[in-house]
Chains A and B, each alone.
Chain A
């Protein structure tokens, strides 16, 4: 059987590793290439880079950075942040990323998902969704709304409907990132993760809110997630990738335990 995956997300700003709390107040916490190598050697299953200052003039920095990591890290790499066109996606692929995350630009122009799926294969297109809990309304019957631009702009789009549309357009995987839980270290948004995971046939990566190993166990079992994404838990040295995996394995969650 497939193992559940532990994914570490590195928010990269100007080539440096950054960590945000509720998408504001970012601070630098080290060299991302070094961190990537360290996590890879410690049993991490997959790496995600998010370019949080994505803009056209910074593109080259990110491409060079992806190249540097791909030369040292031999597990799947996923990259996102500011992917607006198929050319952005193919450039990042050539630099060494397997998977491309689309987010804001796909909400504004959903065809971006199908265009990328056609160009680089559906299995390599990850639809990353930043989601805010809202009152149930006609526009947001699930009680969750999509926000873009790093959590700053509400879109009036229902999160569950968007997840299903993303799947239909050819996304190969979904990241369910809870804005409410992000940076709180109080646990993943289990209700949201499970609702979306049960409504699609593509893998779901849970993101936002992990603070304790038990949170990962919850989201991979009760939350029906295929993978758990962590950031500050490992970046600040409170936990290691191998330690988290060992814990999950001991709790009966199937994990890759040899590397």
Chain B
């Protein structure tokens, strides 16, 4: 299966992700080493926290460059929550330029209903809109656990793999080439979340964005 690396950049509880990997038989190491990241066989890029401080850490450590290397090398990468957000070009959170692994922006929820709370926190339905090997098996009514005030908005609609609803529809999973990202905490989403990690563990990193939904 090769070496799976969980990117450690001081952004949240990475052991939750490691435990979930272990539960599905994926042996993953937590590492802050940019050289190990650049040459890993599979990368999980998780994170909770704030975009600007995360970006500062990634640049300072050399991990930003290592992630660019990994994506160019075709390494399968799974971004989770903040890890997904800072993979895009820009985040509205602190007006932060991000990694640009994927073309797109991160926007703050702007909701009309004052009773709706931000962050969007809890279990919500995930609706697959474009078939992808990592999302195969998610069925109507499957819910995942979310905690976020911002959501990804990729530049091309073809990149949107799944959506969820919070007053309006938003993208909660995207995929371009060897990169797949989920806004929800798949490691805390019970069986459906673990299944997603298991599929990522088996994915070869290939995806045709123009494929039929």
Contacts and interface: CB of A to CB of B under 8 A. Distances in A.
A166 to B, nearest CB: 15
A71 B124 CA distance: 24
A75 B145 contact: yes
Interface in A81-95: 93-94
Interface in B102-119: 117-119
B94 interface: no
Interface in A1-27: 1-3, 5
B19 A259 contact: no
A158 to B, nearest CB: 23
B20 interface: yes
Interface string A232-254: 00000000000000000000000
A3 B13 contact: no
A224 to B, nearest CB: 9
B137 interface: no
Contacts of A202: 117
A91 to B, nearest CB: 12
B202 to A, nearest CB: 19
B7 to A, nearest CB: 17
B48 A74 contact: no
A3 B121 contact: no
Contacts of B192: 258-259
Top 3 nearest A-B pairs (CB, nearest first) are A256-B143, A256-B123, A2-B122
9 contacts: A1-B166, A2-B123, A70-B15, A74-B19, A74-B20, A74-B191, A94-B15, A203-B117, A258-B192
Interface of B: 12-13, 15-16, 19-20, 22-23, 48-49, 117-124, 139, 141-143, 145, 147, 165-166, 185, 187-194
